[in-house]
Structure 1
Amino acid sequence: MHYKKYIFSCFFFSCYLLSCAQPVEKNKTVNPQHNMDNKQIPTGIITDTAYFGEGCFWCTEAFFQRLKGVYEVNSGYGGGHVANPTYEQVCDKNTGHVELAQIIYDPNEVSFDELLEVFWKTHDPTTLNQQGADVGPQYRSVIFYTNEMQREKAEQYKAALDKSGAFNKPIVTAIEPFKNFYRAEQYHQNYYNNNDDAAYCRFVIRPKLEKFEKVFKNKLKKGVE
């Protein structure tokens, strides 16, 4: 009996270590050379913004940072009813917010269709309020559209995927109008690049990132491929 309890304790502890909702080192020194976002947008470039929720924003950020045409990725919270929520409040599952990536991009270099392709291929859109060990409404799969073009393209892509049978279960991704976005605490920004030795980064993000870089090899920023 004690042996079984030990096994279950180890199992749940390992799941916790591989969950996004765990204490993080808030005051860690950040190496500016690790920042993959080129936030100096060239003069004359008109950007657009996409808002995707596909589980832990640490993962989502790492994917989209590496795409050509993406100038900035911010991790944050959106869709809820509490202004300026903290990470702890969102993890308590009472604010209505989702962990989101705000993606600022050049539509002449990377289209919204291409962003959608990355979105659908980098998480499981058939699991409700869950991605792996990350469980809760803040991890739901969602696209917050900012205009009719984004809404139409997202709905068409979702319908085509469902019809194609690409997934064994129905897609539960929500497609909703943009409501709000609050940038997460600074220690969440550029998380993977600054914490690649952390357990979650090594065992959850890194394997996904390696697959992502193989699939989207021709769409990566110079120096990533």
Structure 2
Amino acid sequence: MFVGHYAAAIAAKAIEPRGPLWVYALAAQLVDVGWGALIITGVERVSVDPDLPGSALVLEHMPYTHSLPAAAAWSVLGALAARLVLRLPWAAAVMVGAVVFSHWLLDFLVHRPDLALWFGGPKVGLGLWNYPVPEQAVEIGLIAMAGAAWAWSRGRQGLGPVAAPAFIGFLVALQITAMLLPGDGNPVGIGVSAIAAFLVVTLAAVFADRPALRSSH
């Protein structure tokens, strides 16, 4: 799961528009931002198996980011940061926390069994990665549905119609690019590339959320 995670961010923006899209976008990948940092430092471990269908990542050890208790902790931290640091309304802050936690739920759909239910506990994952075409269809489908909801929400606010399809198109292009680029087996490279991609999407969300182009109707 890559851009599919952003469906939660876009849906959150449609439901609670007082939260900035860039905050929701960062929240959707906050767990993986932490994972990238811990991969770089060697605290968590990943390797690459090019013979695997779909994602070639072998996620060997990631209890501090992708275990169920860790995901819950990241969610609480995300909500508190949104409220106390960014001064968002409580409803938007809670939505940020929900978006953070959605990362684990969506990963559960696609990951092979590598998500620990508790520290040192059994690992779960439905393994949709093993079926690349349906997995990609799920990701793009989630983005499309969330994008439609966001476009409708923007229309109700009198905002222009361009931002939603443009941002969705950017995400789809990013997904295709990620599929075509050769994988890097170096854990540091994987971590750096992941964080860079998330920051690029966060920056794109800043521009997509600008209210300047209001509808003339």
Specify if TM > 0.5: no
TM-score, normalised with respect to structure 1: 0.31
* Greater strand proportion: 1
* Greater helix proportion: 2
TM-score, normalised with respect to structure 2: 0.32
